């Protein structure tokens, strides 16, 4: 499926909170260097976990309300949301193996 871009609050509710699969949500910004580094890692994770978990991206500049709701203080911030609830948080750049380990722990 690849990485899903969240464009609206309704997208977030339907694609993330109501998802039957866990969702790795990347809160990012276009001006953020570490966000650009984690992008290819997330693309690879999305391909690896097809059918098991979804990866979604939210631009914090466009969705400040969502970032505030989830207490995102810096980018990149990765949240794993399962059954509508945050179950894991990773702040800052992490390599693919660390992201995969966090997903594996909740699958």
Q: 59 near 30, Cβ under 8 Å?
A: yes
Question: How far, CA to CA in Å, does 90 sit from each of 8, 42, 43, 95?
Answer: 23, 13, 16, 11
Pairing of strands 23-28, 3-5: unpaired
Is residue 95 part of the annotated active site? The answer reads: no
Q: Which of 3, 19, 32, 88 is catalytic?
A: 32
28 is catalytic: no
| Residue 68 in tokens | 């505030």
Quote the CA–CA distance of 24 and 21 in Å, as a whole number: 10
- Of residues 4, 6, 29, 35, which has the active-site annotation? 35
Catalytic residues: 32, 35
């Amino acid at each position: 499926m690849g990485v899903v871009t969240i464009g609206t609050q309704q997208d977030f509710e339907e694609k993330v909170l109501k998802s039957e699969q866990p969702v790795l949500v990347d809160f990012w910004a276009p001006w953020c260097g570490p966000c650009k580094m984690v992008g290819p890692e997330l693309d690879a994770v999305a391909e690896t976990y097809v059918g098991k978990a979804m990866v979604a991206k939210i631009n914090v500049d466009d969705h400040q309300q969502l970032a505030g709701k989830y207490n995102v203080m810096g980018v990149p911030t990765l949240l794993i949301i399962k059954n509508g609830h945050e179950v894991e948080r990773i702040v800052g750049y992490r390599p693919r193996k660390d992201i995969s380990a966090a997903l594996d722990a909740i699958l």
